[in-house]
Amino acid sequence: MEKNLDLKRLHVKAFARDGVSLNGAQPLAFFERLADLATAQSATEAENTHVQWEISGESVPVAGGEAHIFLHLKASVALPMQCQRCLGPVHSEIVSEQSFRFVPDEATAEAEDDESEEDLLVLTPELDVWELIEDELIMSAPIVPKHPVCPTSVPMSASDESFEAALAERPNPFAALAELKKKPH
């Protein structure tokens, strides 16, 4: 029997208790904030860009206590961005692979955060998995996207021939001052 799960309002505790795994692909346009990081692209390219995702729940028994609730997330997308070196298009492969352990409250999360290998989240009645996927991909995106080696040569000089010519034609202001000093009063 397959359950129809709403990933906008996922009941994490039941998901983990049942050990459910889900995966799929969502169009990039579904994730508005992530799509804002992408450069303008053709309609065909935009339709073909998808976020691949996979989530699984796990409940780990703890001796003398309540079981730990885990959510494991993997997500990836080839995001079209602008290379900050040559200003041409570059497809940045963004991948996020995280494990989240759910704790009862903020105080517990703060107390256990330093010793915990996984990320800690406060257990809420419902979790928006789509928002979590989008947040993780945004945090994994490069701050300065660039090609390993740009396909076009990048000009390494800021000089402009017309600017240099105009500068040469302009009289030197110090030379004009020197001429004023030579004139008798």
Give per-residue pLDDT as tens, 77-94: 999 888 888 888 888 999
According to DSSP, the β-strands at 50-62 and 21-27 are antiparallel
* Per-residue pLDDT tens digits for 126-171: 999 999 999 999 999 999 999 888 888 766 666 677 777 777 777 7
pTM for the structure as a whole: 0.76
Cβ–Cβ < 8 Å for 104, 62: no
Pairing of strands 89-103, 119-122: parallel
With cut-offs at 50, 70 and 90, classify the pLDDT of residue 44.
low
User: Within 10 A of 182 (CB to CB), how many other CB atoms are there?
Assistant: 6
